[in-house]
Homo-oligomer: A and B are copies of this chain.
Amino acid sequence: MYNVALLGAGRIGQIHAASVAAHPKCALAHVVDVHQPAAEALATKYGAKVSSVEDALADKNVDLVMICTITDTHADLIEAAARAGKAVFCEKPVDLSIDRVRECLAVVKKHNTKLMVGFNRRFDPNFAHLQQSLTSGEIGNLELLTICSRDPAAPPASYVKGSGGLFRDMTIHDLDMARWLLQEEPVSVYASASAVVSPEIKEVGDVDTAVVTLTCASGKIAVITNSRRAAYGYDQRVEVHGSEGMLAVTNVPETTLVKSDAQGVVAQKPLHFFLERYAASYRSEFEAFITALEGESGPAPSGLDGERALILADAALESLQTGKAVAVKL
């Protein structure tokens, strides 16, 4: 039985709490949140106790810590949990600063901590199916990868301000997806981007529309297209062009209802946003984490995956600022 301390009882914390409660080998023991009522609601629902970070980490019975707090607390909490000898799951990113990430991962390494970083999309059943088909050679060698990732609506400027910018906040998911599917590290990053969606985003110096191209030494190319706003909802597609065919994951519609009338043949919009679209991924992610704790190999995606995705995001930003492709060495 794994006893779990949940740090952060917000939207994503609630999702992980449900996964913990549903897992036959896990129990939710502590819930911590700066907003007390949120912690209480969740603790009550699952029979856990409301705690502080200190108490939760001091509890010898706690085996693993789920970090679902705001971004700038992640690295500190990972380090504290590592020092306390707990296994750690942390929502992405480890930190927005690559130097801080490296410091943190050094602590993780020193304590031999089992750390999983929350790139949940790897666990989406559709993308997982694509990845399995690809690695089993169903379309030969990957040659060209295209990732389309567009949010339904731009976040408020206040969020954007502290987000680290489009590449570190949003594209980072796609960069991890690209690394996972390419099975080879990119050596070059080029980004073109603009702020055409939201004047507020422009004002805070960020971009909302982007095309990022990754090139590998072997000649494989990946291209990511992002937008902070898609009028038709959350657009999450991946296409892999290989030597013997193509694999594509399309969007998941809200229902399969199709209406044909004088206006046309109307299918439903994609599931609206990440909570609906990736609901299954969060459950599978947690199961994979527990499985990894019981196995010999560490959890994946690991801290290193978190670091590398951030390096690529930083390179994209540098490319945008310089107008040149940026060489990366991972």
Return A174 CB to nearest CB of chain B, in Å: 14
Q: Kindly state the interface size class of chain A when it binds its partner.
A: 35 or more
Q: Which residues of B contact A195 (CB under 8 A)?
A: 219
Return A23 CB to nearest CB of chain B, in Å: 13
Q: Which residues of B contact A256 (CB under 8 A)?
A: 126, 249-252
Nearest residue, chain B, Cβ from A251:
B256
Q: Which residues of B contact A248 (CB under 8 A)?
A: 257-260
Contact of A245 among B192, B232, B242, B247 (CB under 8 A): B232
Q: Are A245 and B267 in contact (CB under 8 A)?
A: no
User: Which of A65-73, A76-84, A133-141 binds B?
Assistant: A133-141
Contact of A247 among B130, B150, B219, B257 (CB under 8 A): B257
Q: Are A255 and B323 in contact (CB under 8 A)?
A: no
**A1 near B: Cβ within 8 Å?**
no
Q: Which residues of B contact A125 (CB under 8 A)?
A: 255
Q: Which residues of B contact A253 (CB under 8 A)?
A: 265
Q: Are A261 and B232 in contact (CB under 8 A)?
A: yes
Interface residues of A (CB under 8 A from B): 125-126, 129-130, 133, 138-141, 143-144, 146, 148, 150, 188, 190, 192-197, 209-211, 213, 215, 218-221, 223, 225, 227, 229-232, 235, 241-269, 323-325
- 4 A-B pairs closest in CB distance: A245-B261, A194-B219, A232-B260, A265-B267
Given A146-B148, A146-B225, A211-B221; 18 other pairs, CB 8 A cutoff: A143-B227, A144-B211, A144-B227, A192-B215, A194-B220, A209-B219, A210-B221, A225-B241, A227-B241, A231-B244, A232-B260, A235-B246, A245-B260, A249-B256, A249-B257, A323-B324, A323-B325, A325-B325
